[in-house]
Chain A
């Protein structure tokens, strides 16, 4: 971090470590005021929405799964759901249950990686997970086994751990045998206990004191802690069906990012992800999990983003519980999918990716070819909120020495577990003609 004149400070992280994808951070302080805070995203744009046009609607879940190696299920589920809605088909019963299960696999995999390998070192004062593992091998081994339990769900339901290939519009290609589900359940029972220990471990971390007034946006389901479906709600009065998303939210381009930013129309930045889900859906967690949360550093609401590591741990327990319940209910392989025939129409899909809501919208023709595609990933939506966090956090902590301030800023970006690779799908193209 370069030192400048006495009244001017710049915090610059040219290449953010322990985040997925390529990004940088720039904060400028002048005369005791934060002048600028920018998350600079230079990951190359991906053009998924453009090259989905003209493809068969049945191919879309497999293509969009390639957007991310960490959260492919969010893209498969959102796109499959949108296609089913467009074609007037609902996927319920055991097939929905199994979709819930594979999504829990993604949550377990993603949250375990983030809590143990990416975020915990920040709180414990280690440069990275390797140096942390030297002193705390049992913690890292537990995290790795927990992640593997998530991988096993992905393997069984998805056909493989990364970019799964078993999800289709209407359901799955193959359903598991009862014996396979029983083997999975045994490891999930260990994973639930490990998740409780994870929460207890995280409750002992030294968590920076920081709060801000957020508009929190998450899905809400009448009975479940929403993952697969529900309405989109906020703590500032939004309560809408997923197809109405664009009436209330907007995307826009800023120069410092190849990824679009998003905001609530006429209100601005909002936050999606674990902290939003927890605040808006605490009453949808089981009594046991609510008690565990309240006994381990959380209250019923939380506005400190540094506590997202605790909330991810709570969600790990919830994902294990949900997955175990699906295993218990499983009746064995029946119909692997419902038939979906294309109609001329359009549909939206929205699910809770580990990092927050991931919204899709497609229009297709009666020939089954995609006419238009729109995908709004969680990290795009969170960028303005990340920048605001940095602006407020630095302003409140100007007394800290430069190295400590930079450390906590990076930690503050990692509160969001940003998946920069996912968020980049946009390139502003200017053509000058003379």
Chain B
């Protein structure tokens, strides 16, 4: 049974960009012994430090990939690369997608990483989710829960 790290990513003051943090907080209320929940601003090297040495992780963040707002994405980073503009709503010099791809190149990406994203509608300055993302919040948390559940039985050694 793998220890699972859940990372909620976002900026609490850029509206829908906060959704990853809010989903992580919701999950920390339902946490199990196998799961650790942390929050991350989305700065890439901090993300790499969090993932380093882990076997299984779920990352939840707002997405800005051009799909309709509210669309929920699930990507298995273990077997597909993440487009660099997938989480493009980062103002950091080195972002989440880049951190994951960097770890893949360096051979240090955990064997099991699932990304859950919800397409945001409003990334302007301020607090509070847009209606369309708020309406999808429960579904997002459910997707995160499913992803974590699917990793509980993941092999404990790299495949």
List residues of A whose CB falls within 8 A of some B CB.
17-22, 43-44, 69, 113, 117-118, 128-130, 133-134, 137, 140-141, 144, 147-148, 151, 161-162, 420-421
Contacts and interface: CB of A to CB of B under 8 A. Distances in A.
Contacts of A148: 49
B91 A130 contact: no
Contacts of B107: 137
A130 B102 contact: yes
Contacts, number: 55
B45 A147 contact: yes
Given A113-B45, A129-B102, 16 more contacts: A17-B93, A18-B93, A18-B94, A22-B91, A69-B43, A69-B92, A113-B94, A117-B93, A133-B105, A133-B106, A137-B105, A137-B107, A140-B106, A141-B106, A161-B49, A162-B41
Contacts of A22: 91
Interface in B71-91: 84, 91
Nearest to A16: B93
B119 interface: no
B154 interface: no
B46 interface: yes
A73 to B, nearest CB: 16
A130 B101 contact: yes
Contacts of B101: 130
A44 B123 CA distance: 12
A161 B45 CA distance: 11
A151 to B, nearest CB: 7
Nearest to A147: B45
Nearest to B125: A44
Contacts of A20: 91-93
Given A21-B91, A117-B93, A161 B46 contact: yes
Given A118-B93, A134-B105, A144 B98 contact: no
B91 A144 contact: no
B130 to A, nearest CB: 17
Contact of A144 (B41, B43, B45, B92): B45
A130 B43 CA distance: 15
Interface string B105-125: 111000000000000000011
Contacts of A151: 49
A106 to B, nearest CB: 14
A141 to B, nearest CB: 6
Main secondary structure of the interface of A (DSSP, over half): helix
18 contacts: A17-B93, A19-B93, A20-B91, A69-B43, A113-B94, A117-B45, A117-B93, A117-B94, A129-B94, A129-B102, A130-B98, A130-B101, A130-B102, A133-B106, A137-B105, A137-B106, A137-B107, A140-B106
A421 B46 contact: no
Nearest to B126: A44
Name the 4 nearest CB pairs between A and B, nearest first: A44-B125, A133-B105, A20-B93, A130-B101
A21 B94 CA distance: 11
A252 to B, nearest CB: 24
A162 B106 contact: no
Contact of A162 (B43, B91, B93, B125): B43
A145 B154 CA distance: 29
A69 B41 contact: yes
Interface in B45-87: 45-46, 48-49, 84
A144 to B, nearest CB: 7
Contacts of A147: 45
A302 B106 CA distance: 35
A128 B98 contact: yes
Contacts of B84: 128
Contacts of A144: 45, 48
B91 A133 contact: no
B93 A113 contact: yes
Contacts of A17: 93
Contacts of A128: 84, 98
B127 to A, nearest CB: 13
A141 B103 CA distance: 10
A142 B81 CA distance: 24
Contacts of A117: 44-45, 93-94
Nearest to A133: B105
Given A148-B49, A162-B41, A140 B91 contact: no
A118 B94 contact: yes
B49 A162 contact: no
A133 B124 CA distance: 34
A416 to B, nearest CB: 13
A128 B43 CA distance: 16
Contacts of A134: 105
A17 B48 CA distance: 19
A394 B64 CA distance: 34
Contacts of B94: 18, 113, 117-118, 129
Interface hub of A133, A141, A151 (most chain B Cβ within 10 A): A133
